[in-house]
């Protein structure tokens, strides 16, 4: 239970889905930076909250725009065209109802009602290159990815799951925490051969999800808990969790809940649509 509490506390501390993983902002204002378009509009609505710019707008791998300020981070999401600012604890969104403020751990009802026309199902293929390299070994089939070519591995005290066999290369596997973030990809050079593969279930389970609102979710490979008889299966970047299995019927859906601090008591719950599922 103590281990579960540590997991849940870590989830609660995650930033909202509108806040992508980016490097820490520099503390001093850049001499030539400026706000433009939607970032300027949001800054002008709450200038003392946003603060001054410290760099110019840049774009992440998924097409979102970000800009650091002296007080936090501005974010524009390509998928829904909304602009937000977060100070790491609270978020201000210039959305369909004008400027609204919420905790990073909360979501407005309209955010949870985000929809997609279809769910993209991706059979993940390890990329040819990785951002980092280490050495270690694999000791079991992956818990996260239900595939015969996916493994649970370790390097020192660090567990990597899933790690994927690389076609034509028996000396290493590719370990991926977030397929949308190239910086999370690790090449693990094997210190001993891979163990025998286990039989996978007929219905594969996604190991990584991106919800319609942009939230991303990883499958929990360690100890977790249950709510009304269903396992807490995924931890998500908005601080919520997904309970039970995803429902692959037309547009895939899942039940996402927000838990009370340091407990497994749901405070909010929503049925959410899934934009992309990685198998």
pLDDT tens digits for 108-131? 888 888 888 999 999 999 988 899
Name the one residue in this structure whose structure tokens are 């990883």.
Answer: 218
What is the C-alpha separation between 168 and 188, in angstroms, rounded? 15
User: Which CB contacts under 8 angstroms, 24+ apart, belong to 66-73?
Assistant: 66/20, 66/22, 67/35, 67/39, 68/22, 68/25, 68/26, 69/25, 69/43, 70/25, 70/27, 70/29, 72/25, 73/19, 73/22, 73/25
Return the pLDDT at 31: 61
pLDDT tens digits for 143-188? 999 999 999 999 999 999 999 999 888 899 999 999 998 899 999 9
100 and 26 in one domain? yes
Q: Give SS3 for 12.
A: helix
Task: Round the average pLDDT of the chain to a whole number and report it.
Answer: 86
Q: Look at residue 1 and tell me if it is in a domain.
A: no
137 and 74 in one domain? no
Lowest mean pLDDT among 58-62, 70-74, 217-221, 245-249: 58-62
Return the pLDDT at 26: 45
pLDDT at 201 over 80: no
HSE-up (13 A, CA, CB side) for residue 180: 23
Q: Look at residue 36 and tell me if it is in a domain.
A: yes
pLDDT tens digits for 35-62? 999 999 999 999 999 999 999 999 887 6
136 and 99 in one domain? no
Tokens coding 212: 């319609």
Q: Look at residue 110 and tell me if it is in a domain.
A: no
Q: In sequence order, what are the residues at sequence separation of 6 or more whose Cβ sits closer than 8 angstroms to the Cβ of residue 226?
A: 232, 264
User: For residues 208 and 79, which has the higher predicted lDDT (pLDDT)?
Assistant: 208
Confidence tier at 20 by pLDDT (50, 70, 90): very low
77 and 155 in one domain? no
Q: Which domain holds residue 170?
A: 125-190
136 and 95 in one domain? no
What is the C-alpha separation between 94 and 42, in angstroms, rounded? 7
Tell me if the pTM is above 0.75. no
Domain final residue, candidates 135, 166, 190: 190
What is the C-alpha separation between 64 and 95, in angstroms, rounded? 16
Tokens coding 221: 């490979």
Q: In sequence order, what are the residues at sequence separation of 6 or more whose Cβ sits closer than 8 angstroms to the Cβ of residue 117?
A: 251
Confidence tier at 23 by pLDDT (50, 70, 90): very low
**Cβ(278)–Cβ(208) under 8 Å?**
yes
Domain final residue, candidates 190, 205, 237: 190
Q: Look at residue 115 and tell me if it is in a domain.
A: no
**Cβ(273)–Cβ(115) under 8 Å?**
yes
- The DSSP call for residue 251 is S
User: For residues 16 and 141, which has the higher predicted lDDT (pLDDT)?
Assistant: 141
User: For residues 31 and 193, which has the higher predicted lDDT (pLDDT)?
Assistant: 193
Q: Give SS3 for 155.
A: strand
Q: Please count the residues of the chain.
A: 279
Q: Look at residue 35 and tell me if it is in a domain.
A: yes
Share of the chain above pLDDT 70, in %: 87
Return the pLDDT at 50: 97
CB atoms within 10 A of CB 105: 22
What is the C-alpha separation between 252 and 271, in angstroms, rounded? 10
Return the pLDDT at 21: 38
Return the pLDDT at 106: 74
Tokens coding 64: 């979102």
95 and 23 in one domain? yes
Domain final residue, candidates 190, 208, 240: 190
Q: Look at residue 50 and tell me if it is in a domain.
A: yes
Q: How many domains does the chain have?
A: 2
- The DSSP call for residue 16 is P
93 and 27 in one domain? yes
41 and 89 in one domain? yes
130 and 54 in one domain? no
Smallest Cα–Cα separation from 160: which of 126, 187, 179, 182? 187
pLDDT at 217 over 60: yes
Q: Look at residue 205 and tell me if it is in a domain.
A: no
Return the pLDDT at 261: 81
What is the C-alpha separation between 175 and 203, in angstroms, rounded? 23
Q: Look at residue 59 and tell me if it is in a domain.
A: yes
90 and 156 in one domain? no
């Amino acid at each position: 239970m103590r281990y579960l509490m540590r997991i849940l506390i870590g989830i609660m501390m995650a930033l909202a889905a509108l806040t992508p993983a980016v490097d820490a902002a520099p503390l001093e204002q850049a001499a030539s930076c400026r706000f433009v378009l939607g970032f300027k509009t949001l800054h002008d609505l709450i200038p003392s909250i946003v603060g001054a710019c410290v760099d110019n707008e840049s774009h992440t791998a998924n097409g979102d725009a970000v800009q650091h300020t002296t007080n936090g981070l501005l974010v524009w999401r390509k998928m829904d065209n909304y602009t937000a600012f977060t100070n790491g604890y609270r978020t201000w969104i210039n959305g369909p109802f004008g400027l609204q403020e919420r905790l990073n751990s909360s979501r407005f009802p309209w955010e949870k009602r985000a929809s997609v026309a279809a769910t993209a199902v991706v059979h993940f293929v390890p990329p040819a290159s990785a951002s980092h390299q280490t050495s270690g070994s694999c000791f079991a089939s992956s818990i996260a990815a239900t595939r015969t070519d996916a493994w649970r591995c370790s390097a020192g005290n660090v567990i990597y799951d899933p790690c994927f066999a690389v076609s034509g290369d028996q000396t290493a596997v590719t370990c991926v925490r977030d397929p949308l973030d190239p910086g999370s990809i690790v090449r693990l050079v094997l210190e001993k051969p891979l163990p025998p593969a286990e039989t996978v279930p007929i219905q594969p389970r996604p190991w990584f999800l991106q919800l319609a609102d942009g939230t991303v979710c990883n499958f929990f490979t360690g100890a977790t808990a249950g709510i009304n008889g269903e396992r807490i299966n995924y931890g998500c970047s908005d601080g919520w969790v997904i309970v039970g299995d995803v429902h692959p019927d037309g547009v895939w859906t899942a039940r996402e809940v927000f838990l009370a601090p340091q407990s497994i008591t749901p405070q909010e719950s929503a049925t959410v649509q899934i934009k992309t599922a990685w198998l």
